[in-house]
Amino acid sequence: MSSRPNNESGAAFLLFVLGLMLVMGSTVVLMASEVPIATHQSLVLAQQQYLQRARERLITWYKTQAALLDSAGSGSVSPVSASGLFAAAGINERWNAQAFISTEQCQTATQGQLCYRNIWVAVPATSGAAPTLTNNVFQPGSSQYIEVSGQPIESLLYRQSLDQLDHLVTRIDAGYAAYESSGGVHNINLDWFAPAPNSGCGVPNGVGPFNCSGGGFESISNVIPSSFTAGNRATNAWGLPVTANNSGSPANDVANPYTMVLESALPWGGSLLATAVEPM
């Protein structure tokens, strides 16, 4: 009996096995080559997610610390160091992350100045140029990074504080209108913003419901009745005092039109002012 068919089938099987081994070997090599790529992509994604979480924490932290961070004025160094920023803002330091904080930047605003800082957090690459900050110019190099600008944060607090003063002036104006409608005499020679002459304020023609500010600015809670300040705090959006003056410059308690001046302190110095004017 001939063994040729068995030899042929054996050879075919051997070729099949060899082909299968070749395919499997190629697959293993391909998979091995893809592992570093997949690992690198996962690392990049994880670092990006870390940086975005850091950005969210920094924004929240900046909002609560705005008065402290920007209290020293233009060109000043941050009271919180770059090395202490992670702990202060509650950020876990990973992948040798670095923080960079600009000096205080100031620009002209509606009243006074608006001041803020910029903050960067960078994760350096394993190779390539390192991130740097020189003269408030951030160079990321080969790093991944995020930036948090204090400008929109401080702008919002500035607007909220200015709106608070405007709202108080509106309440005071409404109070005068109510005074007149209830039978009060419209006499431009009477100072409605000053208390009665026997109050010791030194204003001889005062007829108003207010307390005396003592010749300067005093907390609004000590000068203005609570009926005018309902819904308003005695502090502004930064937590700094809001004050009122009805007896002394810059308020006018000497001649009509009489005025009361409200003041709201700015963290970096100066203040916001709003003036209530007695109708002529």
Cα(218)–Cα(224) distance, rounded to whole angstroms?
10
Q: Which residues contact 78 (CB under 8 A, 6 or more apart)?
A: 69, 101, 102, 103, 104, 117
- Give the CA count within 13 Å in the CB-facing half-sphere of 73: 3
265's enclosing H/E stretch is strand 259-265
Closest CA to 173 of 276, 70, 248, 249: 276
Q: Which residue has the higher pLDDT, 120 or 17?
A: 120
Cα(188)–Cα(210) distance, rounded to whole angstroms?
17
41 phi-psi bin (left φ>0, alpha ψ -120 to 50, beta other): alpha
Q: Look at residue 35 and tell me whether its pLDDT is greater than 50.
A: no
Segment 47-59 mean pLDDT = 96
Average pLDDT, the chain: 87
Closest CA to 204 of 212, 196, 213: 196
Query: Which DSSP state fits 69?
Result: H
Tell me: the pLDDT tens digits for 123-137? 999 899 999 999 999
Cα(166)–Cα(172) distance, rounded to whole angstroms?
10
Range of weakest confidence among 74-78, 113-117, 213-217, 226-230: 226-230
Tell me: the pLDDT tens digits for 186-209? 788 999 999 998 888 888 999 999
Q: What SS3 state is found at 279?
A: coil
pTM: 0.83
Cα(234)–Cα(231) distance, rounded to whole angstroms?
10
User: Is 172 within 8 Å of 260 (Cβ atoms)?
Assistant: yes
Burial class (CB in 10 A: 0-12, 13-18, 19+), 194: buried
* AA identity, residue 239: G
Q: What is the pLDDT of residue 30?
A: 35
